[in-house]
Chains A and B, each alone.
Chain A
């Protein structure tokens, strides 16, 4: 029996991984899955309100393609996962502390910071994807 729960751990700063994570989160969230996204490490800074990176790192040619073609922006896809589907996006409490960030500093659709213990507990029995 397949679980309806998808947990997505996002730690990368690369365009390809962020794009794939956002695709899994958004399509999963609008397709009957309960999606929980956990943002940590190098991924977290993208979700600071008003942050507009000049150049998002790519891992290879496909990342350059994503930047040049009209692919949906990964930030928009995460937002749509919340607004159109059943998704919650949590900043990692450890990463928030290390970066000196508060919830008020983050984009509006992020939930309160969450610890890894709780996230892993909630992920039990479902699909877990790491990017």
Chain B
């Protein structure tokens, strides 16, 4: 099992974190997990909507010290 990829999108705004996640997913294998770090709360709400819509798995989504951590598993 490979390590979780971390995508540090702190400091940018919607849809920056989502687009960075998608670029990361395209370069990942099915089953890999990616963790997006975002200081933009809107992205923390929007990314799970996208994940649900396109059929990947939302593994975790939590806020810590002003940073949102959204963990996604590539499902297809």
The size of the chain B interface, using a CB distance under 8 A, is 15
- Pick the most buried of B12, B16, B46, B54: most chain A CB atoms within 10 A of its CB: B16
Is there a chain B Cβ closer than 8 Å to A117's Cβ?
Answer: no
Q: Specify the chain A residue showing the minimal Cβ separation from B13.
A: A71
- Kindly state the interface size class of chain A when it binds its partner: 10 to 19
A–B complex contacts, Cβ < 8 Å, 16 sampled: A23-B14, A23-B15, A26-B19, A27-B46, A31-B50, A32-B53, A70-B16, A71-B13, A72-B12, A72-B13, A72-B15, A72-B16, A80-B22, A80-B23, A84-B19, A84-B26
Which residues of A pack against B, CB within 8 Å? 23, 26-27, 30-32, 69-72, 77, 80, 84-85
Q: Which residues of B contact A (CB under 8 A)?
A: 11-16, 18-19, 22-23, 26, 46, 50, 53-54
